[in-house]
């Protein structure tokens, strides 16, 4: 059974940093690209960042470019998101999502909540 | 930046057919994907590559594409189908994933 479990969310002040983690199991992690998708309270889905299976291709949404860094450790079956210079508008539930071989995201975690507030 | 446009809401009676559209300039060249999200839950992929249905998704869910518009069709809508639905695709400049604003499906 595929499982994606996010952790690392919490309350943080504007301008500070936070690191999210996603522990994957139930599939061959290093065969698949992985992504972070966020959802602000009461709002829609927003793609944040994605990383290829070997970290050779990485992309970011314009809203986080230069502040967030995605990475992965295939030996630990883990995905990460380093978030720096956090802003109030980064407040959201952050989902880890597995990319399907056919494109799209076929498995999602339950999310970890990040709240940026003073 | 690239946008996918969905109607904010669609309402249907049980047993009727619900159609949710998604429009975007790159859709003729990029596949579309559809997700169902119920309150307090993570999204679930219900259609991939415009019209393919993942295993475990009921046959009443189908997808189609025509020009710059893709459509999610739910035939014989059931109360359990009440949810938010999001389309997703890539744009032509390399952004791998863009989501539509979402459509709230209400089953009357």
Facing residue for A104 by CB, picked from B37, B48, B95: B48
Residue with tokens 């989501």: B99
Using CA coordinates, name the residue in chain A closest to B42. Answer: A110
Average pLDDT in chain A:
97
Q: Write out pLDDT tens, residues B15-69.
A: 999 999 999 999 999 999 999 999 999 999 999 999 999 999 999 999 999 999 9
Token couple for B72:
């999610």
Position A4 scores a pLDDT of 98
- Residue A52, pLDDT > 80, answer yes
Could you report how far apart the first and last alpha carbons of chain B are, in Å? 36
Report whether A6 contacts A22 (CB < 8 A).
yes
Q: Do B95 and A100 touch (CB under 8 A)?
A: no
Position B92 scores a pLDDT of 77
Q: Mutation test of the interface with chain B: which of A35, A40, A45, A46, choosing the one with the most B Cβ atoms within 10 A?
A: A45
Q: Do A47 and B98 touch (CB under 8 A)?
A: yes
Position B96 scores a pLDDT of 83
Position A27 scores a pLDDT of 97
Alpha-carbon distance B17 to nearest alpha carbon in chain A (angstroms) = 24
Interface contacts (A, B; CB < 8 Å): 64
Position B95 scores a pLDDT of 82
Position B18 scores a pLDDT of 98
Q: Write out pLDDT tens, residues A4-48.
A: 999 999 999 999 999 999 999 999 999 999 999 999 999 999 999
Q: Write out pLDDT tens, residues A58-113.
A: 999 999 999 999 999 999 999 999 999 999 999 999 999 999 999 999 999 999 99
Report whether A34 contacts A48 (CB < 8 A).
no
As a whole number of angstroms, the distance between CA A55 and CA A59 comes to 10
Which residues of chain B from 23 to 52 reach within 8 Å of chain A, CB to CB? 31, 33, 35, 37, 42-45, 48-49, 52
Position B93 scores a pLDDT of 78
Position B91 scores a pLDDT of 83
Give the per-residue SS3 of A47-75.
Answer: EEEEECCCCCCEEECCCCCCCEEEEEEHH
Position B37 scores a pLDDT of 98
Q: Which residues contact A111 (CB under 8 A, 6 or more apart)?
A: A6, A39, A93, A94, A95, B42
């Amino acid at each position: 059974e595929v499982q994606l479990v996010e952790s690392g969310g919490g309350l943080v002040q504007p301008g500070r940093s936070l690191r999210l983690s996603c522990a994957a199991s139930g599939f061959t992690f290093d065969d698949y690209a992985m992504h972070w998708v966020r959802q602000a309270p009461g709002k829609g889905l927003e793609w944040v960042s994605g990383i290829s299976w070997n970290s050779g291709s990485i992309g970011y949404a314009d809203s986080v470019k230069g502040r967030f860094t995605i990475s992965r450790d295939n030996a630990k079956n883990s995905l990460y998101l380093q978030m720096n210079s956090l802003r109030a508008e980064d407040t959201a539930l952050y989902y880890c999502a597995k990319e399907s071989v056919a494109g799209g995201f076929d498995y999602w975690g339950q999310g970890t909540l990040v709240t940026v507030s003073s | 930046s690239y946008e996918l446009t969905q109607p904010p809401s669609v309402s249907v009676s049980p047993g009727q057919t619900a159609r949710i559209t998604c429009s975007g300039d790159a859709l003729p060249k990029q596949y579309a994907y559809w997700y169902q999200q119920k309150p307090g839950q993570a999204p679930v992929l219900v259609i991939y590559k415009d019209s393919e249905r993942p295993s475990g998704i009921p046959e009443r869910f189908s997808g189609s594409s025509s020009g710059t518009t893709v459509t999610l069709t739910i035939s014989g809508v059931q109360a359990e189908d009440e949810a938010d639905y999001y389309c997703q695709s890539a744009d032509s400049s390399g952004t791998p994933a863009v989501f539509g604003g979402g459509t709230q499906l209400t089953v009357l």
